[in-house]
Amino acid sequence: MLLEVGRKHFAEIKSETVGTENKMVNVPKSLWKLHGKQAYKSDLILTYLLAIIVMFFNMLNAKDLALWEIIVIAVLSVDIGGGVVSNFTKSTISYYKEAGLSPHFFVWFHTLQTLALMFVYNQFYIPAAVIMAVGMTGASIAVVFRKTVFQLQISVFFFALVILLASFYPEMPIPLKTLLLLMSFKLMVGFAGHYGKYTNTDIQVLIKE
């Protein structure tokens, strides 16, 4: 099912005509790594809307945390929540490809977010480390297979493993489990599952249309 969702999402983008309601806009250089050089208005809206929703959801479920810990969870919620949408967009994925940036570095850079979560929820550092180790390893493997027809299937396979691993820890706090699953989803099914499939040339064609 996740495979079909990913395919339908990108099929809709490919067939979408650019109108005044959903045209591509230039993105400030400081945000290129988040959105690429150009992005659809709807993508930007959905990105920041989900970021806010995830933040409020986690704030409602953040219990027995110090103020600084709540702030860390809020920041990570915005970062990871927004990344769920942006890591699926053609503009973000093609930017890393065209800029010559290592997709593996992008994937494993999320070790920092994982460490931050482990620091806040230190009693659950082992399951957090195991889940994200599988998640980031799966994402890197999917990227390696980017020239095959199995790329997306591999990413979905490893994401399923992450979900199964998370089910072993029902006592895990809701914000921690939510962010681990969302981070794995955006890295594996979003970024790694589609990396290398599109280039900035595709985007320029859409702009001209």
pLDDT in tens, 64-86: 899 999 999 999 999 999 999 98
Look at the block and give the residue holding tokens 């799966």.
138
CB atoms < 10 A from the CB of 206, how many? 19
Report how far residue 80's alpha carbon sits from residue 207's, in angstroms, rounded to the nearest whole number. Answer: 28
Local confidence band at 37 (pLDDT 50, 70, 90 cut-offs): confident
| pLDDT at 202 (0 to 100) | 46
The tokens of 54 are what? Answer: 């995830």
- How many domains is the chain partitioned into structurally? 1
pTM for the whole structure: 0.80
| pLDDT at 101 (0 to 100) | 80
Query: Backbone dihedral region of 64: left (phi > 0), alpha (psi from -120 to 50 degrees) or beta?
Result: left
* Segments forming the whole domain that contains residue 159: 2-12+20-208
Q: Convert the pLDDT of each residue in 178-200 to its tens digit.
A: 999 999 999 999 989 888 775 54
Residue type, 67: L
Cα R_g (the chain), whole angstroms: 17
The tokens of 49 are what? Answer: 């809307």
Report how far residue 140's alpha carbon sits from residue 165's, in angstroms, rounded to the nearest whole number. Answer: 19
